[in-house]
Structure 1
Amino acid sequence: MSRRIEGLFWLLLIGVAVFAAFSYLGLDLPGLLQGDSPQQMREYATSFFPPERSGSWLRQVGFGALETLAISAIGTLLAALIGAGLSLLAAGRLGRVAKALSRLLLNALRSVPELVWAALMVLAAGLGPFAGTLAIALHTAGVLGRLFAEALENTPAEPTNALREAGAGALAAFCYGTLPGVLPQWLSYSLYRWENNIRMAAVLGFVGAGGLGQMLYVTLSLFQQARASTVILAMLLMVLLVDALSAWLRRRLG
């Protein structure tokens, strides 16, 4: 009986919280179905069809897709390299002070969202794909660095210790004793983040970081819904293809 009362109490508390949130934000959901709102939404949705299929526009969308793909790939690669370097410090390989400072840096990098990094990089590096690449690299470096460090911490130390006792140097012991055990995990983490970064690279264009996102922002701003529809379809197709490729590669690595 007490568990039932406790369950009812939590349901009531959640209901009160939801009602308070709607009241505080002033959301008028019934207004979506009143007056001419349904007709306006229907007209706006139908304005996206049929998508723009002219050759010149499709070429521009194709170029934007390649630019978005390049932003995500280069950003993820830079993040993996930076994260790998910082993970050695964050795993405590070079002392406690270096571990604490590197973990603080990794937390700072990943706590700032990609859109905020992109806005800062646009101010620093100007409009275009370079800003988007830097934004993805900085945020993803914080994520991958932490994941890489945890993989290092969970790796058995016996192979490395055996190599060191046999006279191998620190670098050789790491490359032959530790790296083979963590490399599949590192690659799997990097591929998974690449999937996420494809989507994020398509969004970063809204703050001027290039790619399909910038094309989508411009077309929507100019009320060119048919062209925007083509960009959205290109985004969906690119994400599906990259997700399938990344999942296949991760299965092979596993």
Structure 2
Amino acid sequence: MSTVMLQPPSPCWRCRVTAALILAAVVASFAYLGIDFRALFTGESLRLMGQFVAEFFPPDVSPEFLAKAGWGALQTLAVSALGTLLAAAAGAVLALPASGRFGHIAQATSRFALNFLRSVPELVWAALMVLAAGIGPFAGALALALHTTGVLGRLFAEGLENAPRAPEDALVLAGARPVSAFVYASLQIVLPQWVAYTLYRWEMNIRMAAVLGFVGGGGLGQLLYFHLSIFQQQQAMTVLIAMFGLVALVDFLSGRLRRGLGSAYA
């Protein structure tokens, strides 16, 4: 009976060199920034941090301020929903040429546009939209729509590229028009994935919509910035609780919608 000698796996020198370079970069970053962790945990630092945190309690639960925070939460929800809806529509339009359906020139142009839109952060778009549309929720919705268009457009295009073309081509050969063949074949294949991507980006846009208020995008972020700037920490704590509740609610609803969508197409 012959025996098989198992050879030990050869070391991956490329992996080791890459890991060493990453470790060296992390160590160099800490050395360059000069972060002093010892000063963070001194008795005086801990006392000041505790005093700062204590100023946020108890949160302001007066009916007047709760109504104000509720209105800000509705604004934040509306900004995120409108921005995500506009981005999904624009991303779907740009995904068609970006997937190579209209030639290489249209593909390169649309991919350049998508890369540009998502390479600019939401806060930068918000600062620009505040200058263009004025301070308020509309500027925040436009900022979210511009950045999210780049993200969703790229994801939608990749979904179309990976979808099989055989059902669509079969309908075209059977005499269907190209638009009808796309709607009843390829679109039906990628639609659940597109909806899942859109819902996931909506969850992220809820968080970002709350942050955009710091640059004039309206909603809870603008309310938080105002009360922090005048050192009203108790009111700021109420706004933070409202942010957490809103994000948790949207995460729950989005998760239920995605599970329902998955079971419907199973």
Match of 1:138 in 2: 146
Moved more, 144-153 or 9-18: 9-18
Amino acid at match of 1:75: G
CA offsets, 1:192-240, max 9 Å, x none?
0000000000111111111101111111111100000000000001101
Q: Matched residues in 2 for 1:19 and 1:149: separation?
A: 39
Listed as ranges, the matches of 1:144-159 within 5 Å are 144-159=152-167
What residue number does 1:88 align with?
A: 96
Partner of 1:217: 225
Aligned to 1:160: 168
CA separation of 1:138 and 1:8: change in aligned 2, threshold 3 A: closer
Q: Is 1:187 matched up with 2:178?
A: no
Aligned length: 254
| 2:245 corresponds to 1:237 | yes
Rate the CA distance shift 1:81–1:24 in 2: closer, same or farther, 3 A: same
Given the alignment, which residue of 63, 66, 69 partners 1:58?
66
**3-state secondary structure, aligned to 2:65:** helix
The amino acid of 2:57's aligned partner reads: F
Once residues 195 and 188 of structure 1 are traced to their aligned partners in structure 2, the CA distance between those partners, rounded to angstroms, is: 11
Residue 123 (structure 1) aligned with residue 134 (structure 2): no
The alpha carbon displacement at 1:46 in A equals 0.7
Match in the other structure for 2:234: 226
- Structure 2: 5+ residue stretches without partners: 1-9
Other-structure match for 1:79: 87
1:21 Cα deviation from its structure 2 partner: 2.2
1:69 maps to which residue? 77
Please tell me the residue identity of whatever aligns with 1:134: L
Give the root-mean-square deviation of aligned CA atoms.
Answer: 2.2
State, as a whole percentage, how many aligned pairs show the same letter. Answer: 60
Question: How far apart in 1 are the matches of 2:255 and 2:148?
Answer: 19
Counterpart residue number, 2:38: 30
CA distance in 2, matches of 1:253, 1:9: 44
Return closer, same or farther for 1:166/1:70 CA change in 2, 3 Å cut-off: same
Shift of 1:71: 0.3
Greater mean deviation of Cα atoms: 143-152 or 28-37: 28-37
| Unpaired stretches in structure 1, ≥5 consecutive residues | none
Q: Distance in 1 between matches of 2:146 and 2:189?
A: 26
Shift of residue 17 of structure 1?
3.9
Structure 1 length normalisation: TM-score?
0.93
SS at match of 1:167: coil
1-side partners of 2:26 and 2:178: how far apart? 56
* Residues 55 and 89 (structure 1), Cα distance of their counterparts in 2 relative to 1, 3 Å cut: same
Give the Cα–Cα distance (whole angstroms) in 1 for the partners of residues 16 and 223 of structure 2: 49
Instruction: Give the superposition deviation at 1:18.
Output: 3.8
- 1:27 aligns to what SS in structure 2? coil
TM-score (norm 2): 0.89
Helix, strand or coil at the partner of 1:119:
helix
Separation in 1 of the partners of 2:116 and 2:13? 43
Moved more, 236-245 or 21-30: 21-30
Q: Distance in 1 between matches of 2:189 and 2:13?
A: 51
